[in-house]
Each structure stands twice: as structure tokens, then as C-alpha cells.
Homo-oligomer: A and B are copies of this chain.
């Protein structure tokens, strides 16, 4: 399990919001938690991490909710991961040894290091716009429910 549940929830919720970018204003969190089958209060706390990290903007009251703080092409998956699971989750030793690297590798560094760095780059370079585009051509889903959140 590479990501925590909180991180998974945060990513899925962000994808959901991103799908409506430019079409609707603020998306209420209860709509997201219903659509994705996530506890409302738990999701609220997770999304607060994203608003504190300027990935989302929230607005209180009727017609309130959350929305992306920037254009989808300016938000990477990596930003979400870092905001929730932290910087270390995608750049540290697979055996947890501090200082593991090419000069002082752990026995699995040659195997994990390149894959980890490639994943880091992929998540750094994949934006919400990329995800949105893929939704248009593939039958993606972000919920265990059939096609939860997808508009087609």
C-alpha cells in the first residue's frame, strides 16, 4: 500500500472536483462523500489539508463547497500526495534507512530507487488536466460504485 487511505480519498475527491472545473462553482463536500462512498467528516478534514496547501479553495454557506485553487493544468498529482502523505512518501528508502542513496545504498536501493524516482516524475508531470482528458476517452472510475462521478 503506497498511499494512506486519507491520501487515496484526497486524490479521488480532487479528481471528482476537477471533472466539474469550469462547469460548476463550488462543489459541496457531502456530494463528494456521497458519490465516492467516503465518510463526510473524514473527507472534510482531508480536504482542509488541500485548502491549507492552496490546492483547493473552500467557501462556506449555501452554494458553498470546494473548488480547485488553480487551473487543472497547474495542479499535479504529486502536490496532492505531498500535502496529505508528506514529502517523504515518494522519495525515501524502501527499508526506511536514513541517508540511503547511491553512495550508501540499502540492498534494495538498486531495485526500488529507479522505480520510485520514475513514479515521482510521473506524478510530478501528471496534472489534473491530463486526468480530465483521459476521462473523456476511457471508462475511468474513481469509486467502487459503477462509474461513480463520471459523466458518461
A106 at the interface (CB under 8 A from B): yes
Residue tally, chain A, CB below 8 Å to B = 39
- Bound Cα distance from A139 to B77, whole angstroms: 35
Contacts of A95 in B (CB 8 A): 3, 8, 11-12, 142
User: What is the count of identical protomers in the complex?
Assistant: 2
A71 at the interface (CB under 8 A from B): no
Which of A22-30, A56-64, A119-127 is the contact stretch? A119-127
Scan A84-119; emit 1 where CB is below 8 A from any B CB, else 0: 000001000011111000001111101110010011
Q: Report A's interface with B, CB cutoff 8 A.
A: 1-3, 5, 8, 11-12, 15, 77, 89, 94-98, 104-108, 110-112, 115, 118-119, 122-123, 126, 131, 134-135, 138-144
